Structure 1
């Protein structure tokens, strides 16, 4: 079993190495250890200090000497204009000893599988993996390990781990640190209100913000306690989980050291003796928001929230020592301050002795006319020789001097080594060798320095062809999510999508019947489908036999592909580049896709769609910002139940709103069969894209789901659709729609991610 520890800056990574390193990796009685870190680009913790590529090379060496693996986070969505820079980075990474890449973007997964098969790939928690189909989907893309959604309980984790193992994959579970309120990867709250996308590593954590006091008396109604599975290590082991992951790449070195060391001791105690320690005190001495393991135990309740997002370590002293006087509590708090300072000083002292400086190489270049050129390299306490394949001559274009030789060998400085000295004293003047032979010598040196592995040649991606088609008339498609709305719009000529709930157990038979009766009605599957809900969705596919479906869930996508059902990728699959579209078409027989609602006009324009592939865009919809497995009504208006149960999912239907202290309001909605969701205060209406890209999309889509926001519509569904059709045909202008539907917003299209 592996303990996976975060590292933001170099000091934090060193602290992680000290806290967990040391055990031989082959020792089956001990935990293995790994550290995940990010470069200064392409990672989901932009607020972390992060590291440079040069530092990464040295960190890998340092970690490996301490029996730690290094995983690199490339866990953000990749924009089209970043593909060239990304490929350049992958070309470099292919020639390192990196132990794995943690990935979110489907386009990046496609590139890694097709062009970089030597790089091990792990699926980020940002991929929202929570059902068997999703594991099989990722396996088809070459993923070796999957980080499961944090909201799952032990039984769900056990089942998914068994599916992963059957597919020769391993599972990873977060066991400690900050807890997101939303399912990861499908939270757009920070993006739509501040243009800081969580899918780009810029989340501003609006769920931690202060809000106007709710009816339930909370100022921080969306703020969860931290996750802590310290006492669940044995159960996770029994569930088949391989890697235990600690959150915290923006945390400092003293935090990393304290938490990682505590979990290492607990894990080793379980692996060696099958016993758990009861010594979690050190976890409360560093930053925390108090702790909960309620997702793991399946006890989702209001006790998972805390009405303060700041450090709880001092508050805990007062909360747990109410019998003490104020003076005694103050003394205890001061003692904790002192202990924090001591820990920080101790860690700083320990990491001083770990160096990530590049290793120096000294070279002696020698030879004479008629003999091969000889390069002797001194590395650490060893040395080796490399010879040219042809002999030196007295004639040529440019004589071999320090500058000409160094210029051909300087690529060595891009590795974990650098040329500290190059001696040419034993080399006569005016000797010549073809430059391509110096390149051959350089490659021999790189081969030896890379543990006798040949460098992997850089990949150059071929240019993608523009397959956009000109549409004389772009049709309007319609989304509905209630049977009542079906009666209003089914007589229109528009293509109809029906949004299914996550759980439709109570009206399963009715829904199957309706889809059989209405062949032009297309089922739309939501992003989150867990456990029995997933099995019910598969049963629906078998009974209803749809000719086409839309899905925001890759598990349903996998099943559609396997069963020969045409399918369209929904916007929650976060498609923002051409290679993500290629991935779905080539590997999963996808017939079309919605682009992400997060990206801007300029970011959309660069995307090339594959041949025989349809592209869709939603121009009117409620802005879904978050889906959560929690009950928010506990925090907002109160609820008679203290804990969620199965009946809540099927039978609860409520709505409310919250407003933060910046006067930004959010709509909270729970509908039958769905998880709770947070929406923006206004619907999105993007009329600009119709003029900006009139022939880019195969359909513009209008979402009539009955989500009650501040947006008012002054007509019924039938007339509204007619107005949209007239606008797209150019018979009316955008102003008429905006007068009919108001107020609306369209920030994402202007600002992007």
Structure 2
């Protein structure tokens, strides 16, 4: 038996009004939902009237977290301010945020509003939680890639900091670390960081392997296997081991699915509610029937995920709903099949079914009831069905009925204690119920006078019986005391109206108890000025000593070194890099995009023993650690710097790299800040567009993935994390004059996974270009000759697509 406070909150998705009703009815402790703007699921139905949705949940004692988890442009900040005030005033319990600039704005504008770090913030270390605590966040949704042991270690820190931990337990898994994926953005302009992910990870790809040429470009590529859904993950389902996650001490369990139906939300939420209640009682055991219900609701094949150490994360065979296998056709003729069942499920009228053989699928609806005879059953099937095909149920009529029952039954009702007394015949109801911050007390006075009975007076039990008829509401009277003088009478209709008035007043009081008075704070000051860089500096990203040597020969003024060695040779590599750069260029140790606690501890040891205190970081945990080690900080692409407020939030950095998703006008707005760190844009190279724990390739492999039109290089970094690069190189050489006029301080060339020759020649081109603008056409032709996959200006000209595009 566990105490109630030892059972984590169950948090369900509400992407539509019907899904909200389903989540509440199925027993969610809290829901998360979005409005029409600033939400990471812009294609969900969402809620035009947030207040109505929030009030509905609060009237049933369900907490509401509003998603404000997209990256924000400077031109949207005024609108966002008004939106945050609205969210605060309607009583939302918290907002989920990704953008560090939104953290800064919310702290200043609505300090009363609780902030939760979205998984899009890519917090995956104890230091990430330390950053969140230091900046006023009360909960962190951890990256899905963490294990239970990782979470336990982080929990040891988060408890002392007063920060809650939230983890996903069911639903779709992103291929990339959330917040670090530009796949959709690079392939079609629809940014996942703006809530518009087109899910290119669910498309087919072919894995290629080859070698590289003198510039590090791919060559001699050959297929490694056929086309398949290389980047498609299975769906997370932690139900079989839910008790292990509960034992880790997390504060909330999250179900993914704001794009899913109300039926899905009802079934999945109910399964996890029942499991948590059983764990609380101490009598929980895995039920295969519940797993079957979850699979019938929707599944791409289930995995227990990184959180439970599963090795079957990927579902490369198919990217959509697999349904549940129910049988194999033994014989088929004339539109009628004899099927051998594979389990206890049989098709029922109204079920959606599909027949599969390899990649071939034939869908149909079951129209007739089937009967099991001699171990087989007969079934009418569509044209094209044949012997040997497998039969799956992809949409269950029974599950639809089950979901409807869950919604009709509703959640456990809220108990009310009631005491009715009489003031000169007028009934006065004293009402007591539990609210979010303690007991709520109110008084309701009837609008009628009970008269002296002429014949049969009402008894206390009759009055109580009339009060207890609360069916169809979210309330139930627990204790009813009738302080009754006797001898009075009124009609049942008037007692019914009194009951309705009591329940309406209780609902209003409960909803009001969640409201808050928001004193709008002062907007952060964003002083701007016209500024122009004296001269653009040229930086180069390098991962080997040879590439550093080439960059220096080409005239690079700064080197970001991310060594390919992880531990035992690291100090030696850094020492050699320092010797190479001394007197020639500024050396910055670039940490990997993903820095687990183990790396950060090791990095601290290296820094203590080594004279190098300039660090490039790409996540908030690394930023926190580097600050603790008193390093000079350079912020990388992974920090997602999208607006002026983000720059202000990270103003302690020496320099910040702006997001490659920004347009020229957006960069110009940020660069006009008066007091800020130096700003840099990545002007050349194949941008990293996905960062994943999937070991798609082996260490040292020269590989790529190919879709129908493009080839995307794939590399592994020193931490073993897989990086997918854009199919074409970003090239902003033409726009260097414009970039300089904006006041940007430096441009960077990403020469990681390339060669000394590439680094030398590309650094030489950009070093000449920043001083001799007249040579740009000639220099650009040189870039074309060594670029991998061609060149593009990326989002520099137009930015990413918007929902209205």
TM-score bracket for this pair, using the shorter chain length: 0.7 to 0.9
The residue that corresponds to 1:367 in the other structure is none
The residue that corresponds to 2:400 in the other structure is 344
The residue that corresponds to 2:322 in the other structure is 312
For 2:26, which of 12, 19, 23 is the aligned residue?
A: 19
The residue that corresponds to 2:156 in the other structure is 162
The residue that corresponds to 2:599 in the other structure is 533
Aligned Cα root-mean-square deviation (Å):
3.0
Distance 2:663 2:255 in 1: 34
- Give the Å deviation of 1:351: 5.0
Decide whether aligned partners of structure 1 residues 609 and 572 sit closer, same or farther in structure 2, where only a CA change above 3 A counts.
farther
* Unaligned stretches of 5+ residues in structure 1: 22-32, 356-379, 385-445, 634-647
Q: Secondary structure at the match of 2:12?
A: strand
The residue that corresponds to 2:590 in the other structure is 524
Q: Secondary structure at the match of 1:122?
A: strand
The residue that corresponds to 1:408 in the other structure is none
The residue that corresponds to 2:545 in the other structure is 483
- Give the Å deviation of 1:175: 0.6
Alignment map for 1:99-178 (pairs within 5 Å): 99-178=93-172
Alignment map for 1:199-218 (pairs within 5 Å): 199-212=193-206, 215-218=224-227
- Are 1:37 and 2:33 matched, yes or no? yes
Query: TM-score of the superposition, structure 2-length normalised?
Result: 0.73
Deviations 1:313-339 (A, max 9, x none): 14x3348x9999853559934564477
Distance 1:61 1:211 in 2: 46
Distance 1:174 1:233 in 2: 11
- Are 1:232 and 2:241 matched, yes or no? yes
Alignment map for 1:617-632 (pairs within 5 Å): 617-632=681-696
> Contact conserved, 2:39 with 2:69, CA < 8 A, in 1?
yes
Distance 1:665 1:468 in 2: 41
For 2:257, which of 245, 248, 257 is the aligned residue?
A: 248
Decide whether aligned partners of structure 1 residues 698 and 352 sit closer, same or farther in structure 2, where only a CA change above 3 A counts.
same
The residue that corresponds to 1:389 in the other structure is none
For 1:600, which of 642, 663, 673 is the aligned residue?
A: 663
For 1:554, which of 597, 620, 643 is the aligned residue?
A: 620
For 1:327, which of 299, 322, 339 is the aligned residue?
A: 339
* Unaligned stretches of 5+ residues in structure 2: 1-7, 208-222, 353-365, 367-394, 412-441, 447-507, 785-789, 801-805
For 2:768, which of 726, 743, 750 is the aligned residue?
A: 726
The residue that corresponds to 2:471 in the other structure is none
> Contact conserved, 1:255 with 1:287, CA < 8 A, in 2?
yes
> Contact conserved, 1:224 with 1:305, CA < 8 A, in 2?
yes
For 1:50, which of 26, 46, 50 is the aligned residue?
A: 46
For 1:615, which of 665, 671, 679 is the aligned residue?
A: 679
> Contact conserved, 2:554 with 2:759, CA < 8 A, in 1?
no
- Give the Å deviation of 1:736: 1.9
> Contact conserved, 1:187 with 1:626, CA < 8 A, in 2?
yes
Decide whether aligned partners of structure 1 residues 343 and 654 sit closer, same or farther in structure 2, where only a CA change above 3 A counts.
same
Distance 2:83 2:445 in 1: 31
More strand by share: 2
Distance 2:115 2:129 in 1: 13
- Give the Å deviation of 1:347: 4.1
> Contact conserved, 1:497 with 1:524, CA < 8 A, in 2?
no
Alignment map for 1:405-484 (pairs within 5 Å): 450-451=512-513, 455-459=517-521, 461=523, 464-467=526-529, 469-484=531-546
> Contact conserved, 1:622 with 1:705, CA < 8 A, in 2?
no
For structure 1, which segment, 303-312 or 146-155, has the greater mean C-alpha deviation from structure 2 after superposition? 303-312
Distance 1:476 1:515 in 2: 18
> Contact conserved, 1:582 with 1:610, CA < 8 A, in 2?
no
- Give the Å deviation of 1:557: 1.2
Alignment map for 1:636-675 (pairs within 5 Å): 652-661=699-708, 663-675=709-721
Distance 1:172 1:251 in 2: 21
Report the structure number with the largest CA radius of gyration: 2
- Are 1:222 and 2:285 matched, yes or no? no
Q: Secondary structure at the match of 2:604?
A: helix
- Give the Å deviation of 1:110: 0.9
- Are 1:288 and 2:284 matched, yes or no? no
- Give the Å deviation of 1:693: 2.9
- Give the Å deviation of 1:58: 2.3
For structure 1, which segment, 143-152 or 271-280, has the greater mean C-alpha deviation from structure 2 after superposition? 271-280
The residue that corresponds to 1:392 in the other structure is none
Distance 2:274 2:587 in 1: 56
- Give the Å deviation of 1:665: 2.2
Deviations 1:150-208 (A, max 9, x none): 11111111111222112111111111101111111000010011011011111111110
Distance 2:750 2:286 in 1: 53
- Are 1:300 and 2:328 matched, yes or no? no
- Give the Å deviation of 1:731: 4.1
- Are 1:690 and 2:726 matched, yes or no? no
Decide whether aligned partners of structure 1 residues 500 and 265 sit closer, same or farther in structure 2, where only a CA change above 3 A counts.
same
Q: Secondary structure at the match of 1:477?
A: strand
- Are 1:188 and 2:182 matched, yes or no? yes
> Contact conserved, 1:294 with 1:304, CA < 8 A, in 2?
no
For 1:73, which of 43, 67, 71 is the aligned residue?
A: 67
Q: Secondary structure at the match of 1:187?
A: coil
- Give the Å deviation of 1:270: 0.8
Distance 2:559 2:151 in 1: 32
Decide whether aligned partners of structure 1 residues 350 and 529 sit closer, same or farther in structure 2, where only a CA change above 3 A counts.
closer
Distance 1:323 1:141 in 2: 66
Distance 1:292 1:347 in 2: 24
The residue that corresponds to 1:679 in the other structure is 725
Decide whether aligned partners of structure 1 residues 610 and 135 sit closer, same or farther in structure 2, where only a CA change above 3 A counts.
farther
Decide whether aligned partners of structure 1 residues 265 and 718 sit closer, same or farther in structure 2, where only a CA change above 3 A counts.
same
Distance 1:103 1:168 in 2: 18
- Give the Å deviation of 1:447: 12
Q: Secondary structure at the match of 2:703?
A: strand
> Contact conserved, 1:60 with 1:97, CA < 8 A, in 2?
yes
- Give the Å deviation of 1:449: 8.7
Distance 2:554 2:253 in 1: 53
> Contact conserved, 1:223 with 1:306, CA < 8 A, in 2?
yes
> Contact conserved, 1:225 with 1:304, CA < 8 A, in 2?
yes
Distance 1:241 1:95 in 2: 29
Deviations 1:414-463 (A, max 9, x none): xxxxxxxxxxxxxxxxxxxxxxxxxxxxxxxx999944977323345265
- Are 1:265 and 2:328 matched, yes or no? no
- Give the Å deviation of 1:381: 9.1
Distance 1:322 1:118 in 2: 65
Decide whether aligned partners of structure 1 residues 499 and 6 sit closer, same or farther in structure 2, where only a CA change above 3 A counts.
farther
- Give the Å deviation of 1:529: 1.2
Deviations 1:372-395 (A, max 9, x none): xxxxxxxx99589xxxxxxxxxxx
